[in-house]
Structure formats: structure tokens, C-alpha cells
Amino acid sequence: MAKIHHKAMIDINGKPTRFTLADLAMYHILRIRQSKGEFFSIQKVGKFYGEGQSGGRAVENVAREVENQLIEQMGIEKYQRQVTEYIENYIEKHNLDWKKVK
């Protein structure tokens, strides 16, 4: 797996918070799992958590902002390739059935 060097800085409650491509890839993995029927009461991206509907919305907004910054840094093709690679490696490492989570 490629080393992940790209980072996004988001201001959360007045505190600059760093997010990586790996943080966003893990957010996408949880979203994929939710689409397959696993639901979590707490959503997260990096170290930012939210609970319930409003907390989930806040996490989704942060994830969008992180994604936009990373795409701006990397370009859409490189971003998509690296996120996909991270997700595929995670699935392989944890012996998940790709057909169940894709």
C-alpha cells in the first residue's frame, strides 16, 4: 500500500484539526458497511466523531470538506486511485468478502 502523505486541515470548534487520506478512506469503509446493513450510532472521520442524526450530518460535512481539500491537492484521478487502493487493501487485510461490501 502506498504511503499516505496528503493531509487536510479543517477548523473544528476553533481548533485546526488534521485529517489524512487514510482517515477519509476509513470513513468511506464505514459508509460502505452501512450500505450493506450495518448501522453505527456513532459516525467518525479521523478523530472527529458525531452521534445521532445531527452528529452524523456534522461528520459528513467535515468528510466532504476534507475530500474537497484532498482532491484539490491531488487531482481527482490520483485521489480516487489511492482511496480505492486503501479500501481494497483494508478489505484484503481483514479478510472481508469484497462482494459483501462493494
**Cell numbers placing 85:** 487502493
Residue 82 lies in a domain: yes
Q: Which residues contact 68 (CB under 8 A, 6 or more apart)?
A: none
Q: Which residues contact 25 (CB under 8 A, 6 or more apart)?
A: 83, 86, 87, 90
Residue 67 lies in a domain: yes
Q: Are 48 and 42 in contact (CB under 8 A)?
A: no
Instruction: Give the three-state DSSP class for 2.
Output: coil
Residue 102 lies in a domain: no
Residue 2 lies in a domain: no
Residue 62 lies in a domain: yes
Residue 101 lies in a domain: no
* 14-52 residue pLDDT tens: 899 999 999 999 999 888 888 777 777 888 999 999 998
Residue 71 lies in a domain: yes
Q: Which residues contact 31 (CB under 8 A, 6 or more apart)?
A: none
Number of folded domains that form the chain: 1
* 65-99 residue pLDDT tens: 999 999 999 999 999 999 999 999 988 898 877 55
**Cell numbers placing 1:** 500500500
* Identity at 60, one-letter amino acid code: E
Q: Give pTM, 2 decimals.
A: 0.81
